[in-house]
Chains A and B, each alone.
Chain A
Amino acid sequence: MTELVNILRLARSDFSYFFRTKWLMAVLLSLNLSDMLIVALVYKQLISSFNYFQFFVPAIIIMGLFVAALDTGRRIWLAIREGVTQYYLALPISTQGIVVAYLLAGGLAAMVYSASLMLIALVILPITAVWNALILLPFLFFLAMGLAGISATLAAFASTHGEFFFAYQQVVQILLLTMSTVYYPIEIVKNYLPPFLTSIVSANPLSLAAEAMRDAFLGNSVPPSSLLNILLASLPFTIVGAAAYFIALRTIQTKGKP
Chain B
Amino acid sequence: MLDVLRLVWFDLKHELYPPVWIGLEWFSFSAQIFMYGALMSQLVNIPGIPNYQQFYAVGFVVMMTFDVGSHAGREFVEAAHEGRLPYLLSLPISRSKLFLSIALKGGLELALMLMVPFGIILAMIGNLSLVSMAAAAATLFFLGFGIAGLMLGLSFIAFKSSDMYSAITTGLSALLIRFSTVMYPLMFLARASPGYEVVARFSPLTYGADLAHLFLGFDPGMLLNPTIAVAVLTALAVSTLGVCTFLLQRLVEGVKSG
Interface residues in chain A, defined as those with a beta carbon under 8 Å from any beta carbon in chain B: 22-23, 25-27, 29-31, 34-35, 38-39, 41-49, 52, 164, 167, 170-171, 174-175, 178-179, 183-184, 188-189, 191-192
A179 touches B20 (CB 8 A): no
CB A63 to nearest CB in B, in angstroms, measures 13
| In the bound complex, CA of A255 to CA of B123 (Å) | 52
A31 touches B45 (CB 8 A): no
Main secondary structure of the interface of B (DSSP, over half): helix
Interface 9-residue window, one of B81-89, B147-155, B187-195, B214-222:
B187-195
Interface residues in chain B, defined as those with a beta carbon under 8 Å from any beta carbon in chain A: 20-21, 24, 27-28, 31-32, 35-36, 38-40, 42-46, 52, 163-164, 166-168, 170-171, 174-175, 178-179, 183-184, 188-189, 191-193, 196
Given A38-B178, A43-B44, do A167 and B20 touch, yes or no (CB 8 Å)?
Answer: yes
Q: Which chain B positions have C-beta within 8 A of A30? A: 170-171, 174-175
Q: Which residue of B lies closest to A47 (CB)?
A: B43
CB A258 to nearest CB in B, in angstroms, measures 19
CB A189 to nearest CB in B, in angstroms, measures 7
Given A170-B28, A183-B40, A184-B43, do A42 and B167 touch, yes or no (CB 8 Å)?
Answer: no
A47 touches B44 (CB 8 A): yes
| In the bound complex, CA of A22 to CA of B183 (Å) | 28
A45 touches B191 (CB 8 A): yes
Q: Which chain A positions have C-beta within 8 A of B167? A: 22-23, 25-27
Q: Which chain B positions have C-beta within 8 A of A23? A: 163-164, 166-167, 170
| In the bound complex, CA of A46 to CA of B42 (Å) | 11
Q: Which chain B positions have C-beta within 8 A of A167? A: 20-21, 24
- Identify the 3 closest CB pairs spanning chains A and B, nearest first: A26-B167, A23-B166, A30-B174
